[in-house]
Amino acid sequence: MKKLLKVALVAVCVLTMGSIAKAQNKVGYINFAQLVSAMPDTKTLQTQLEAYNKQFQDQYTAMTTEYQTKGQAYEAQRNTMTDAVRLSKETELSDIQKRIQSFQQDAQQKIATKTNELSKPLFDKLRAAISQVAKEKGYGYVINSSATSQDELLLVSPPGDDLMTEVKAKLGVK
């Protein structure tokens, strides 16, 4: 009877140790930004983005040159202009300035969209490689050591349960 009790106790200990070992997840980290810069694809991507960005820079330079030229002409002739002509020139300069501001905002949005479009395949490739290595090495979590926001922090994590409903219930929030 004592032997049976000892065997049962040892079995329980072994099972408990096994479940504790499984509950511990290995955590790894990687500097994602450094990995991106080490990739040969990054140079190609940068070259493409610089060429795309240059189109907007050239247009912006032409627009600001036009604004400066017309502004200087206005300043030089302002004292000799009639009120109607002065008002017309001021309106024209204001319109050019608004066009420049609108162009800048539009260009920034287009550049950001193009950057995301060109970067996505590279980032997907890197994340897939990180996931594969993590799986091979038994890592449950891989943290991005160069993360600048919470969205970029975890590169690999096991699927989990969404606890939103339970936490809201605990806090009394609907």
- Quote the tokens at residue 59: 């247009």
Examine residue 11 and state whether it is found in any structural domain, yes or no. Answer: no
pLDDT of residue 11: 46
3 vs 149, which has greater pLDDT? 149
* Under 8 Å between Cβ of 88 and 77: no
pLDDT of residue 19: 47
Q: What percent of the chain has pLDDT over 70?
A: 85
Q: Is the pLDDT of residue 1 over 60?
A: no
Examine residue 34 and state whether it is found in any structural domain, yes or no. Answer: yes
* Under 8 Å between Cβ of 59 and 149: no
**Average pLDDT score over the chain:** 84
The reported pTM is 0.68
Q: Which of 21, 46, 23 is nearest to 36 (CA)?
A: 46
Q: Is the pLDDT of residue 6 over 70?
A: no
Whole-number Cα distances in Å, 135 to 17, 27, 83, 92? 22, 12, 76, 63
Examine residue 32 and state whether it is found in any structural domain, yes or no. Answer: yes
Examine residue 17 and state whether it is found in any structural domain, yes or no. Answer: no
Domain span at residue 79? 24-157
151 CB burial (10 A radius; 0-12, 13-18, 19+)? exposed
Q: Is the pLDDT of residue 74 over 50?
A: yes
Cα separation, 140 vs 29, in Å, equals: 11
Q: What total number of domains does the chain contain? A: 1
Examine residue 104 and state whether it is found in any structural domain, yes or no. Answer: yes
pLDDT of residue 168: 81
Which pLDDT tens digit goes with each residue over 11-66?
444 445 444 445 467 899 999 889 989 999 999 999 999 999 999 999 999 999 99
Examine residue 60 and state whether it is found in any structural domain, yes or no. Answer: yes
pLDDT of residue 2: 52
Give me the mean pLDDT over the 76-96 stretch: 92
Examine residue 9 and state whether it is found in any structural domain, yes or no. Answer: no
pLDDT of residue 155: 82
Give me the mean pLDDT over the 164-171 stretch: 81
Examine residue 18 and state whether it is found in any structural domain, yes or no. Answer: no
